[in-house]
Structure 1
Amino acid sequence: MIELQFSPEVANARATGSPLVALESTIITHGMPYPQNVETARAVEAEIRAAGAVPATIAVIDGQILVGLTEDQLEALGQTTDVAKLSRADLAVCVASGGTGATTVAATMIVAHLAGIRVFATGGIGGVHRGWETSLDISADLLELAQTPVTVVAAGAKAILDIPATLEVLETNGVPVIAVGQDDMPAFWSRSSGLRAPLRLDTGAEIARAADTRLALGLPGGQLVANPIPEDAEIPRDVIEPVIAEALSLAQTQGVSGKDVTPFLLDRVFHATEGASLAANIALVLNNARLGAAIAIATTT
């Protein structure tokens, strides 16, 4: 049996029955440079605390699965180089070999479930990459949503992906995709992808009730909550789409593949938008953290 290491804050929340919200750690190690990465991670945790819940940032350090990071651990992780990016396929090997790694959506869901945490707030999920017809590049996040009972709050799938295909895969695997407060499916930096969302709910309490009902019905898997980016932070779809297309073309020309695709594209978009994409990313993560806390507070144990 793998032993999870809980931070004092998370251990106390578990003992008192306080609501917990899981957070991934790739935003710290692969999302932005130091010290902005640590500052953002702390801001996200602060939003969850201010909303009445407890944050549990998940990572693997020296082979130990950590659920909740202390200030010192967060600071150290933010400055560590060559940190592995962990998904379902990598998690066990990293732990067994005593490695250090940051968890993606899939790995965070796995650990959150082991820890009894039912809500997870992130930026955007992975999905079906554009050009999947030749690369078969489909994120493990989608299969994880189909089998692990965690509610994932995101601003939709990342806009660099094939969103229609991503929705098709989620539907095929029985994953509820719930837009919050609108009928359109959001697209990460943009409030609308131009597609209608499969489902809509308007409050954290409604989303929590849907998760509880799914559990009571014995249905496997979690649910994807697509929370649109705040209006004042969005980059409209007609503005961001040409930038994404150019970044995709460059990635193909340079032969970028596998796990390197997403960070490459995000970096290109960041430079092309003169940093606006990163500012939008931070705003949407904070927004998702607030909603995640509301859902966790309303979720029954």
Structure 2
Amino acid sequence: MKLLPADIGNLAHRLGAAIVPMLQQAHRVEAAFYAHAMQSEQLRSIVPRAYHADGHQAILLADLSRAGFKPLSPWSVDLTEGPDVDRTVLLAIVDALATLHTSAGVFPASSLLTWDALIQSRTDRVMIPVNHDAKALEALLHRFYAHFCPDAPIVLRDLFSRAATVGYAAILRAISTSSGVAYILHGDPNPGNVLYNEVDTRALLVDFQDAATDAPAVVDVARLLISAMHPTSRASLENDLVSTYMAKANIVHRVQFTRDLHLALLAYAILIMAWVAFTLETRAPALFYALGERSIACLRDHGAEMVQALQGL
């Protein structure tokens, strides 16, 4: 059983019944993942052992604290002020993601989300606060930058408007699997979903509530780049991490991967910014605001490339 922190519980209460199906689906997917993950020798090296996982959403995982594994970042940490995840840890996470993405053949077709189902789930999460109104989403994004970055350059304001016009689901669908397919996509590889052992510099991935099959691998990479690093660190380490991932995951179409990465970064940033703007008047999680700051920094760095990637959509 997972207990929601008070600020997350407050947000869930505000959303009411709309969030219940999302939570039910998330728990079902995670139980399905662990029920089958132990059949793969590759996966056993990057996920905790599951003693029990069933269709009733009950999961019993091994306690790895005695083996030296510790969570990297709890929900309560404000990542903009706290210490960054260092390069050694990031490389361990990249290695775990590459292993996850290239592990195939252990899941029944219907056990995890499809890429189309994940697109629908992500779109629901973005659009529920605005009742699936594209114009309201655009207004929400403009509200974000008015509050957090009133000096935002014109390219960012144009990017928000263009993204809202194209539509969130269309941006996700434009991310191609041809640049690199993940046989298993984690869905949310932020530092809070990683256990790390400092002795053997090994990372284990947890919280597979958005796990999907045959999805663009770049989606996980984008989430890691925004969530794991302060903007200054990301600027200096991003190319290194992306190149390392592409080498480990045997990414061949690197130009396409880079274009898809910009779309995936934009999609994740929109998700974060929409929720931050939605929660400005409530007791919102501190993590949302930390990720909001990181998202806007990413858009400042890559806004021109994102606008170019949106051309023709």
Give TM-score, length-normalised by structure 2: 0.28
Higher fraction of strand: 1
Greater relative contact order (Cα 8 A, min sep 6): structure 1 or 2? 2
Give TM-score, length-normalised by structure 1: 0.29
Higher fraction of helix: 2
